[in-house]
Amino acid sequence: MAGSKYAYVRHFELPDPLLPATFIVCRLDGHSFHRFSDEHAFAKPNDERALKLMDRAAQSLMTEYKDIVLGFGESDEFSFLLRKTTNLYNRRHAKILTTLTSFFTSCYVFHWPQYFPDTPLRYPPSFDGRIVLYPNEREVRDYFSWRQADTHINNLYNTVFWALVQQGAQTTTEAHATLRGTLSKAKHEILFSRFRINYNEIFPRFRKGSVIVWEQIPDAPHDIGNSQDMVSTQDPSGDNAVENSEPSNDKDATSSSQPKQKQKLQVKPRTTIEIMHCDIIGDEFWQTRPYLLSG
């Protein structure tokens, strides 16, 4: 397209690249979801339908953008980890943030009828987003540990609060006053002594949040003719296994010649998205999935 005298305005569009060789974490958060949950009569303290809907939107996002290797969600929030080497949208900050936020929001609306078939949307939900860069694995792990610890803290408070309101006949003001300044141990005691609720037996989805991850499923080796997932690699000896094309003077050389070296076959691991409700603060989750932080 030919330029025009108005094209100079493009110079006001400043580049906004994200620092290379860093992990990208994009956190999406429901905007004014206290009002949204009230308007749509979400169950308290946790509405499993709403949490499953968040998981579905996150799963759809990760399916569309495979550079997202991990998602963690709680309540109306989801955090996504993009691999360190990603070049998605040339690592343009605004492009990545706006696209992921808008796609997640549209998926939330699109799948709403499946999880709330009897509750039509009263108005459009919205999500805000932010991007944070982390230089190494330790900060990434600490970030997700922080979010899961926050899940526990918030859910414990909300579980006790709504037990006091729904079963203890307190007003919301009275319930807040009862819990003001209490430590975790006291909250556990209130739940068990007054309502016979063992917090540790509550569904892990509520206590630990949702972990969505690309899990590797390695295939068993099979014939190259039947495989579309095979990748040939050189023999460890370093030989290229190229057949000698020079003719031999020995008539029997063809039959007695050494067979050409076979190329080793390496299976590309298949992957599938899994939704789990597990601990990600300890080492086991990360040690069994080193590929999440390998870049």
239 neighbors 23 (Cβ within 8 angstroms) = no
Query: What's the token pair of residue 15?
Result: 């580049």
Question: Distance (Å, rounded) from C-alpha 16 to C-alpha 14?
Answer: 6
Residue 31 annotated as lining a ligand binding site: yes
Alpha-carbon distance values, 116 to 13, 33, 189, 261 (Å): 42, 16, 35, 60
Residue 222 annotated as lining a ligand binding site: no
Q: Which letter does DSSP use for residue 284 in this model?
A: H
What spatial distance separates the first Cα and last Cα of the chain, rounded to whole Å? 39
Question: Distance (Å, rounded) from C-alpha 146 to C-alpha 280?
Answer: 10
246 neighbors 252 (Cβ within 8 angstroms) = no
Q: What is the sign, positive or negative, of the torsion defined by CA atoms of 64, 68, 69, 74? A: negative
Nearest one of 212, 215, 192 to 202, comparing CA atoms: 192
130 neighbors 97 (Cβ within 8 angstroms) = yes
Query: What's the token pair of residue 58?
Result: 């996150």
45 neighbors 157 (Cβ within 8 angstroms) = no
Helix (H, G, I), strand (E, B) or coil at 179: helix
Rg (CA), the chain: 27
Taking every pair of C-alpha atoms in the chain, what is the biggest distance, in angstroms?
101
Residue 75 annotated as lining a ligand binding site: yes
Query: What's the token pair of residue 236?
Result: 């460890």
User: In which element (H, E) is residue 97 found?
Assistant: helix 93-115
Residue 33 annotated as lining a ligand binding site: yes
Binding residue numbers for Mg(2+): 29-30, 76
Binding residue numbers for GTP: 29-34, 75-76
Binding residue numbers: 29-34, 75-76
